[in-house]
Amino acid sequence: MLTPGSYSNILLVFIPLGIAYGIKNETPELIFWFNFLAIIPLSKLNLRKIRQLSAVLGPMSGGCLHAILDNAPLLLVGIAAIQHGAAHIAQSCIMGSVLANLLLVVGWCFLVGSIRHRELIFSTTFASTASSLMMVASTSLVVPSAISEVHCSVDPDCKDKLVRMSHSVSLALLFLFVVYQHYRWRSHRQLFVEAASPELVDGSTMSRVFLGIVEALLLITVLGMASLSSFFLMRTMSSVTDSDFLSKRVVSFVLLPLATDGPARIEAVAAAYNNHMTTALEFAIGRSMNVALFITPALVLFSWAAQSSYPMTLHFPTLETISIFLGSLLVAELCRDGKSDYLEGAMCLVTSVICQVVPILEAATYLVHRYVILSFSF
């Protein structure tokens, strides 16, 4: 019997197809869609290999590895976008991923979990800590947006100042990410015992070392294929978004985060259905926090190191920035008591629709234009 997560195994065939077509560099539309579909099973394989390698390394090393590489497909897509001079695509992917995980996935977890249980209980320690860190990360996005709105219209050097400010703030966010990992897995580990953490596998030291090497090589292979798929996808993205069907905003804000985070979102909702709410929030809020504290500053610093002609900064679109800030406030308030129900899930889902109404309407407009207006024109 197929489980929800096993359906992505059907898409494994698109991994060699996408890479092969990308190397041949023919039929850009097929290259894009093959590699887009390939990222979905690669994201699932990445999660599986990280989980297996973390079990070999133990709680501290495994937990840090999970935090760093958990969102590796999104990081690779962002790197490929920056390499192709499309930093705005990387920013849109980050916004779409954080908003969907923070509101949409959390909302579905609360709602689906309430099907079998009247009230859901979870660890307040992890939820409150992650929500507080999300507030800090969202503040780092609100400030550059505010500076841009106020000063960039009158100060000709404002953009250069935003770039330098983004570099400094990114270093500060990475420092906070490292401090949190030390806090979570070393100094205050006992506070997070309820949260999901890797357990050490049984066996002798030699067998664990051998198993760790094998899992590490498999993980590197998966990341290598994900890197190729991301590169080919970004190289051919314009062939799809130049049509009357999709815009770059819809692809980067909706579709790409769905491919990179889809398997983890399914696992989160499945965990909530089985009343494992702490694990579900680890997937949802934890991934949003890791994207905000690690992926975003890492991409900003990569753009700086690569001397990109279109540098990526922390100046994100104002609407999405405010949405993340308000979403962080809502989730922090809902998680404060360590309990949830379907009403709180509905609140998160409605807020998600409100915050993402622009790309939703844009996608609907393209569909109407494609299938209704054009059909009448003939």
pLDDT tens across the length of the chain (378 residues):
445 556 677 889 999 999 999 999 888 889 999 999 999 999 999 999 998 888 888 888 888 898 899 899 999 999 999 999 889 999 999 999 999 999 999 999 999 999 888 888 888 888 889 889 999 999 998 888 888 887 777 777 888 888 999 999 999 999 999 999 999 998 888 877 655 555 555 556 777 778 888 889 999 999 999 999 999 999 998 877 765 556 777 788 888 998 998 888 998 999 999 988 988 998 889 899 999 999 999 999 999 999 888 889 999 988 888 889 999 999 999 988 888 899 999 999 999 888 877 666 666 666 566 555 545 555
This prediction's pTM: 0.88
Measured over the CA atoms of residue 44, residue 116, residue 289 and residue 68, the dihedral's sign is negative
Helix (H, G, I), strand (E, B), or coil: what is residue 163?
A: helix
CB atoms within 10 A of CB 294: 23
The rounded distance, in Å, linking the Cα atoms of 82 and 334 is 36
**Number of structural domains in the chain:** 1
Q: In the chain, at which residue ranges do the beta strands (DSSP E only) sit?
A: 120-121, 339-340
Which residues form the domain of 79? 4-192+200-377
pLDDT at 105: 94
pLDDT at 23: 93
The rounded distance, in Å, linking the Cα atoms of 327 and 333 is 10
pLDDT at 377: 52
pLDDT at 262: 86
Q: Which residues contact 74 (CB under 8 A, 6 or more apart)?
A: 93, 94, 97, 257, 260, 261, 291, 295
pLDDT at 375: 53
Helix (H, G, I), strand (E, B), or coil: what is residue 316?
A: coil
pLDDT at 300: 95
Measured over the CA atoms of residue 221, residue 223, residue 224 and residue 226, the dihedral's sign is positive
pLDDT at 33: 92
Check which CATH number belongs to the domain holding 356 and give it.
Answer: 1.20.1420.30
